[in-house]
Amino acid sequence: MSEFKTGLNFALKLDRSDKLSHFRNQFHIPKHKDGTECIYLCGNSLGLQPKITPAYINQELKDWAELGVEGHVHGKNPWLSYHELLADNMATIVGAKPIEVVVMNTLTTNLHLMMVSFYKPTTKRYKILIEGDAFPSDKYAVESQLRHHGYDDKEGLILWNSREGEELLRYEDLESILKKKGDEIAMIMIGGVNYYTGQFLDLKRITELGHKYGCIVGFDCAHGAGNVNLDLHQSGADFAIWCSYKYLNSGPGSLSGVFVHEKHAYNKNLNRFTGWWSHNKETRFKMRDEFDMLPGAEGWQLSNPPILSMAAIKASLDVFADAGMDNLVSKSKQLTAYFEFLLNELHNDNIKIITPSNENERGCQLSIQVKNANKSLHHKLTEAGVISDWREPDVIRCAPVPLYNSFEDIYNMVERLKLILDEK
């Protein structure tokens, strides 16, 4: 981009004008072996810990120690309704209404719960469409659902593949699949941001196309939540799921978010697995009442909330609320564009960015393909103090996260990459 320049001084100038730069100080940055801060570009795998997180967790430990079971109703943040404290901020991040969002379970568990309700195969319409290079857990999950319902998991799975010699998906290919096989497809389940290429797909376009052919449409937004403006409500998608430990910085293996569109909120005829926490709050503790489903996404809960994990999520969501999702997306676009600019300025024919160059078709991740490279390149970057992610066969995934990455981080990363490639 023409407004960018090379050189460290320009990176420092961008940092000085960055109104979100102070948020970096609110996170623990891992240290390199020489004692300096690492260049952490792996928020697409595990987000960094907000410094306020221990205080949030300690509050619940304190209430547990001092109140015991009474913490459910008399704690500072009563545990019975703790998940409700997350709904508004989480809904804002993913572009939903609070009634459409709940935090519960883990990612693939929630995908299965959504498929219990929304995958309704018939003799003629039973196939599931996913992207060809879906994250493995998504593929495993939908294959197991096909088997569970008595179908062959290869014959019943339809793949939306990129074309030969290309990495990115084309919508016209999805349209072609649906024209040919739309009446056989019960459900479309796509990764909203592809984990490998970083391509941010048009959720609304895919949803409208799927609904045109009578398909249920859902999205795995693990790489989108906290990264891009998902606008889930406006997309019209039937459901979506995401994790909270990547861009949402809630800790390894933490809980998942679920979106169920408002149009399904009061549909008691949807098949679902149920539990105590999906029952009417007003009569839940009468214990012997017949099941009375909660409306909205809450109606898919099974068990009472795991408070310590939710406390970590609450801490991160409060940071997001302070920064503002629109502000973060705006900075993310500038940060990633600057990254792209510096990589292109290397004029190295062995480097190819496979992530879309259009800022509206990607989040903060850039997937850098390096010709003839192997994992030793990743190891050398790590030794140089750059924490990134290697994906076979030859791709380094780097995610400059606007909450805690600086323009100086990006400048230094590219300089270290250049030195390593020059050595080769």
Per-residue pLDDT tens for 232-260? 999 999 999 999 999 999 999 999 999 99
Same domain? For 106 and 186 the reply is yes
pLDDT at 2: 56
Same domain? For 148 and 12 the reply is no
Query: In which band, very low, low, confident or very high, does the pLDDT at 424 lie, cut at 50, 70 and 90?
Result: low
State which of 321, 339, 356 marks the end of a domain: 321
- In angstroms, the CA 343 to CA 410 distance is 10
Summarised one tens digit per residue, pLDDT across range 140-154 is 999 999 999 999 999
Bond from prior residue into 121 cis (ω within 30 degrees of 0): no
Q: Residue type at 204? A: K
Summarised one tens digit per residue, pLDDT across range 355-366 is 999 999 999 999
Query: In which band, very low, low, confident or very high, does the pLDDT at 28 lie, cut at 50, 70 and 90?
Result: very high
Average pLDDT, the chain: 96
- In angstroms, the CA 336 to CA 414 distance is 12
- Whether residue 1 is contained in a domain is answered as no
* Residue 154 token pair: 């290869």
Proportion of the chain above pLDDT 70, given as a percent: 99
Same domain? For 101 and 141 the reply is yes
Confidence (pTM) = 0.96
CATH number of the domain bearing residue 170:
3.40.640.10
Mean of pLDDT values over 284-308? 93
Same domain? For 217 and 343 the reply is no
Same domain? For 196 and 312 the reply is yes
Mean of pLDDT values over 294-320? 97
- Whether residue 50 is contained in a domain is answered as no
Mean of pLDDT values over 292-297? 94
Mean of pLDDT values over 146-164? 97
Query: In which band, very low, low, confident or very high, does the pLDDT at 286 lie, cut at 50, 70 and 90?
Result: confident
Same domain? For 303 and 374 the reply is no
**Residue 366: which H helix or E strand, with range?**
strand 366-370
- Whether residue 190 is contained in a domain is answered as yes
User: How many independent structural domains does the chain possess?
Assistant: 2
Quickly count: other Cβ atoms within 10 Å of residue 280's Cβ: 14
State which of 321, 344, 373 marks the end of a domain: 321
- Whether residue 3 is contained in a domain is answered as no
- In angstroms, the CA 154 to CA 147 distance is 10
Summarised one tens digit per residue, pLDDT across range 106-139 is 999 999 999 999 999 999 999 999 999 999 999 9
- Whether residue 49 is contained in a domain is answered as no
Boundaries of domain holding 183: 57-321
Cα dist from 115 to 174, 205, 378, whole Å: 21, 21, 37
pLDDT at 1 exceeding the cut of 50: no
State which of 291, 321, 351 marks the end of a domain: 321
pLDDT at 68: 98
Same domain? For 195 and 239 the reply is yes
pLDDT at 228 exceeding the cut of 70: yes
Same domain? For 244 and 379 the reply is no
**One-character DSSP codes across 323-360:** H-HHHHHHHHHHHHHHHHHHHHHT--TTEEE-S-SSGG
pLDDT at 415: 97
CATH number of the domain bearing residue 383:
3.90.1150.10
- In angstroms, the CA 380 to CA 149 distance is 47
Q: Is 118 exposed, middle or buried (0-12, 13-18, 19+ CB in 10 A)?
A: buried
Same domain? For 112 and 166 the reply is yes
Q: Residue type at 67? A: L
Proportion of the chain above pLDDT 90, given as a percent: 93
Cα dist from 423 to 219, 235, 380, 390, whole Å: 42, 47, 11, 19
- In angstroms, the CA 264 to CA 239 distance is 9
**Which residues in 138-155 are b (16+ Cβ under 10 Å) and which e?**
bbebbbebbeeeebebee
pLDDT at 229 exceeding the cut of 60: yes
**Beta-sheet pairing, 185-191 with 216-220:** parallel
Mean of pLDDT values over 374-393? 93
**One-character DSSP codes across 126-195:** -EEEEETT--HHHHHHHHHHHHHTT--TTTTEEEEPPPTT--S--HHHHHHHHHHHGGGEEEEEEESB-T
pLDDT at 289: 85
Place of tokens 């990633």: 336
- Whether residue 333 is contained in a domain is answered as yes
Same domain? For 344 and 234 the reply is no
- The residues near 34 (Cβ < 8 Å, ≥ 6 apart) are 385
Same domain? For 245 and 375 the reply is no
pLDDT at 295 exceeding the cut of 90: yes
The CA-CA-CA angle for residues 383, 387, 391, to 5°, reads 100
Mean of pLDDT values over 301-322? 97
- Whether residue 52 is contained in a domain is answered as no
Task: Indicate the length of the chain as a whole number.
Answer: 424
pLDDT at 385: 96
- Whether residue 75 is contained in a domain is answered as yes
Helix, strand, coil percentages in the chain from 3-state DSSP, rounded to 5: 45, 15, 40
pLDDT at 372: 86
- The residues near 159 (Cβ < 8 Å, ≥ 6 apart) are 129, 130, 131, 132
Give the three-class secondary structure for 27.
Answer: strand
Same domain? For 148 and 221 the reply is yes
- In angstroms, the CA 424 to CA 186 distance is 50
